[in-house]
Every structure is written in C-alpha cells, then in structure tokens.
Amino acid sequence: MKRMKLFLATAVLASATLFPGLLPAGDKLNLNTATEQDLMKLPEMSEARARAILGYRKSTGEFIQVDELELIPQVKPIYGKIKDLVVVE
Amino acid sequence: MTRRRAGWLMATGLWLVTAGAAAATAAELATIAEQHGQWEMSYGAVYYRAFGFVQNKSSKPIKYVKLQLDLLDAGGKSVYSTIGYNQKAEALGTVEGEGADTVKRSSPEETLKKIEALKPGEKDLFRIGVSKDDIPKKPKFKSYQLKIVEVK
C-alpha cells in the first residue's frame, strides 16, 4: 500500500513537472468562471479558441450546458477532447 | 357525509376518470417515433430545440398532435415548460417575438380547417424551440422530456 502511494505521488509530481500547464486530473473547469488562462490549460486549446469561448459567454450569457461549446465554430473540432474536463455551475 | 360533499367527491372522481381516459386516448392515437434535443444558433440567437417525428397510430386521420416540452433539472423537476405542434399544424401555435401583435390570426376553427390531416400511420416532423434568454439560469436544466398532451 505504501509503495502504491509513493508511486502515485511520484507520478503526479512527474506529470506536473513535465506538463505544467495542463489541468490536474479530477479538477474540472467551470465554464462560467474560467479565465483565458484557465481555459488555456485544456488540451489543444489556443488563445483564439479560449477567446471565442469567453466571447460566446459574454454575448449569450452564462453557459447552461457544456454542449453549448459545440455552437462555437473554433471549439467544435476539439469538443470531444474537452467536454469531460469542463463543467457548468 | 353530507349530500353536497358526496356530490363533490363524485364529480371529482368522474373528472379524474375522464381526464385519465383522455390522456390514454392521446397516447393511443399518436406516438413520438423519434426525438432529439440540441442547442442551435440562428442569426446570433441561441435556442435549445427538441425535434423529431410523431406518428398517427390510429386508424383515422388526425388533425394535430400537441406536445409539451419540459426542461428538467438534476432532480427531474421541470424548470421550464412549453407547448408545440406537429409541423403540419404549427399554425395552431402562438406567435411570439417582435411584431407578434401585428400578425393577423384566423380563428382556431378556420386554422383547423386549413390543416392537412395526418393519415393513419403517417409521420410528421415536430420542432419545439426555447430561446436561451427564456431558460432559467438556476437551477440549470440537465435533460428534457417530451409528451403528447392532446390529439385531435
């Protein structure tokens, strides 16, 4: 058990060192409060995509469902990769 | 029990039986053959739209199928409800939005006469849209429910 804990701790530390910008596993991003910097932690997210999400939120109001991301043309191609990493609260 | 109270109870019971029979009839006459729900954007406005097909299950033509769309929260409670009709009978629906008050409307009887009936077994499209502006922000809806409330 001790070995397993040590292995997990090492793995988490290693991933945080190797991929500093990525979202830690288990932490989901709230689309209604996320900043551009927060969004940039999502896989395959670019500045243009992050700004498009913020622009959509500003023009149509807060997200009601995560599925709304599919309406943003810049984000649609990566929707499948990010939908499980975000929430709407 | 007074005679008046007994009469009231009988009337309530009769109403419940009649209402139950009417609901059963609607479900027997038509069915939702296919349904989907998704977000859509049109000219910058965002809508949640439920769409699909209804089918005439009866042996007689039917004039319209009236549907109720409910947006449900995580606990299954309705947070928004609206009514719609099959595509051929969409004229029976209400006109909403800018300029709606300027639209000249025929009487329901006249509108009904103009509607092409659904033949036995025939399917027809339905679309019920809700503007994002009208959907409550809290509690957020998680799913939708469609049911047939009236068939004529």
Q: What is the pLDDT of residue B18?
A: 53
CA B54, CA B32: separation in Å to the nearest integer?
4
Position B110 confidence tier, pLDDT thresholds 50, 70, 90: confident
Q: What is the pLDDT of residue A13?
A: 42
Question: Measuring CA to CA, how many Å separate B137 from each of A89, B68, B105?
Answer: 10, 21, 33
The reply to whether B138 touches chain A by the CB within 8 Å rule is no
Lowest mean pLDDT among A65-69, B57-61, B93-97: B93-97
Closest-CA residue to B59 (of B133, B135, B16, B119): B119
- Report chain B residues whose CB lies below 8 A from the CB of A70: 39
* 8 Å CB contact of A64 and B137: yes
For residues B12 and A15, the model is more confident at: B12
* 8 Å CB contact of A59 and B44: yes
Q: What is the pLDDT of residue B94?
A: 74
Please give the ipTM for the structure prediction.
Answer: 0.72
Question: pLDDT tens-digit profile of B77-86?
Answer: 999 999 999 9
Q: What is the pLDDT of residue A14?
A: 46
CA B19, CA A69: separation in Å to the nearest integer?
42
Lowest mean pLDDT among A83-87, B28-32, B70-74, B90-94: B90-94
Position B28 confidence tier, pLDDT thresholds 50, 70, 90: confident
Mind listing the pLDDT tens digit of every residue in chain A (89 residues)? 556 555 544 444 444 444 445 555 568 999 999 999 999 999 999 999 999 999 999 999 999 999 999 999 999 999 999 999 999 99
Residue B77 DSSP one-character state: -
* 8 Å CB contact of A61 and B132: yes
Residues 6 or more apart whose Cβ sits within 8 Å of residue B36: B50, B51, B52
CA B26, CA B9: separation in Å to the nearest integer?
26
